[in-house]
Amino acid sequence: MSPIYIIAIDLGGTITKIGLFEDGKLIDHIKMNSRPDLNMATSLPRIEKSINLLMDSNKVDHLSGIGIAFPGLVNNKENTIISTNAKYDDGVNLNLEEWARSHWNAPFYIDNDARLATIGEWQYGSGKGYDSLVMMTIGTGIGSGVIMNGKIMYGKHFQAGSLGGHFVIDYKGRLCSCGNKGCVEALSSSAFLRQIIKDHDALSPLFKSQSQNYNFKTIFQLAEQGNKDAQIVRDECIEIWGAAVINYIHAYDPEIVILGGGVMNSYNIIVPHIEKRVAEYAWTPSEKVTVATSSLGSCAALYGLEYCLTKKDRI
Ligand SMILES: [Zn+2]
């Protein structure tokens, strides 16, 4: 039998990843910086080139599916983008099924990126063996996905479980890109980091003046080196992520919460703090909820796509 080849695309705000799967194994991938304009129509030709390059270099002449993990709200039944949040806004008007069919004559699938990462971890990663789990992805934005009693949560309008970045932490807080105030994302994501530093009363003027130079990687490094300002930012963001995790536990009743995204390179600092907060403050009389790190890392959404394109009818 000839192998089944799948292309999975994770369309991130900063990095776009394209993976080639052969019979369920990720055999090759390309990582590239996302276009700064975050425009879908102008990103697709670059993606097409990368897909063709992956196919040529691996001697693949036929694809059994192409999928996109998208940073917005998606109707996965009709394979359309419902709503965006300052990323790939023009995607709402594109016929992506037709795009996949006209170029590669392949079936197409699209869903929310954090939901797909959750499915990837559930089937192949840290969530294997659990039937109720929540995943939180902390990156440019903050996303989430939920599996409840063995079922992927979608809701009436495909947004259930996906809006973990927009749970309100401070109802008087900073205006979020979604239009609400004080969301987890507005208070503790990379996209808002510069503003978080600028607005903070307790940070030194020197540190604030360099806010444009910082990302979470440098904040965690400086904090490790003893920089007090970086420690304040790091510790507050971890507290906010912990508060969000407790909200998810109360909302979705999972057995395990999986944390993913680029910031989890510092899991050794983040996970114990969040575990402690959950142990102290979450209302979980029946069972202790496990806090774990993503085991598929930045490839989790690619694995979720592979699963949805080849095996989803099993569940
Ligand atoms: Zn928001």
Separation of 142 CA from ligand 1 center, angstroms? 9
- Gap from CA of 126 to ligand 1 centroid (Å): 27
Q: What's the 185 CA to ligand 1 centre distance in angstroms?
A: 6
pLDDT in tens, 223-239: 999 999 999 999 999 99
86 CB-near residues (< 8 Å, 6+ apart) = 38, 177
Q: Is the pLDDT of residue 155 over 90?
A: yes
User: How many whole angstroms from 117 Cα to the centroid of ligand 1?
Assistant: 20
- Distance from Cα 84 to the centre of ligand 1, integer Å: 12
Helix (H) or strand (E) holding 16: strand 15-22
Model confidence pLDDT, tens digit, residues 185-228:
999 999 999 999 999 999 999 999 999 999 999 999 999 999 99
Separation of 159 CA from ligand 1 center, angstroms?
Answer: 13
Report the separation in Å between the CA atom of 189 and the middle of ligand 1, taken as the mean of its atom positions: 11
CA of 241 to the centre of ligand 1 (A): 14
Angle between helices 40-57 and 96-104 (to 10 degrees): 30
- What's the confidence (pLDDT) of residue 12? 86
In angstroms, the first-to-last Cα distance of the chain is 25
Cα gap 315→83, rounded to integer Å: 27
Q: What is the mean pLDDT of residues 171-186?
A: 96
**CA quadruple 242, 211, 139, 84: dihedral, nearest 10:** 110
What average pLDDT does the segment 31-43 reach? 90
Q: How many angstroms does the Cα of residue 49 sit away from the middle of ligand 1?
A: 34
**Are the C-beta atoms of 299 and 17 separated by less than 8 Å?**
yes
Q: How far is the CA of 121 from the centre of ligand 1 (A)?
A: 25
More confident: 60 or 311: 60
Strand ranges, E, within the chain? 5-11, 15-22, 25-33, 65-70, 73-75, 80-83, 108-112, 133-138, 142-148, 151-152, 256-260, 290-293
Q: 99 C-alpha to center of ligand 1: Å?
A: 31
pLDDT at 314 over 60: no
Enumerate residues with CB within 5 Å of ligand 1 (an ion): 166, 176, 178, 180, 183
Evaluate if residue 11 carries a pLDDT over 80. yes
Number of H helices, E strands in the chain: 10, 12
Ligand 1: centre distance to CA 187 (Å): 9
Give me ligand 1 centre to Cα 87, in Å: 14
Mean pLDDT score, 46-70? 97
**What is the reported pLDDT for 145?**
98
Which structure tokens are listed for 70?
Answer: 């998208």
Q: Could you report the per-residue pLDDT of 250-303, keeping only the tens digit for each?
A: 999 999 999 999 898 899 999 999 999 999 999 999 999 999 999 999 999 999
Centroid of ligand 1 to alpha carbon of 63 (angstroms): 37
pLDDT at res. 313: 65
Give every CB contact of residue 31 below 8 A, 6+ residues apart in sequence.
15, 16, 17
pTM, whole model, 2 decimals?
0.94
**148 C-alpha to ligand 1 centroid (Å):** 24
**Would you say residue 36 has pLDDT above 90?**
no
The CA distance from 2 to 22, in Å, is: 10
In the chain, the domains with their CATH numbers are 5-116+299-314 (3.30.420.40), 129-295 (3.30.420.40)
Please state whether beta strands 108-112 and 142-148 pair in parallel, antiparallel, or not at all (unpaired): unpaired
pLDDT at residue 201, as a whole number: 94
Q: For the chain, what percent of residues have pLDDT higher than 70?
A: 99
Cα–Cα distance, 128 to 138 (Å, whole number): 21
The rounded Å distance from CA 232 to ligand 1 centre is: 23
Distance from the alpha carbon of residue 160 to the mean position of ligand 1, in angstroms: 15
Per-chain mean pLDDT for the chain = 95
Closest by alpha carbon to 256, among 303, 290, 211, 288? 290
CA of 307 to the centre of ligand 1 (A): 29
Per-residue confidence (pLDDT) for residue 315, from 0 to 100 = 45
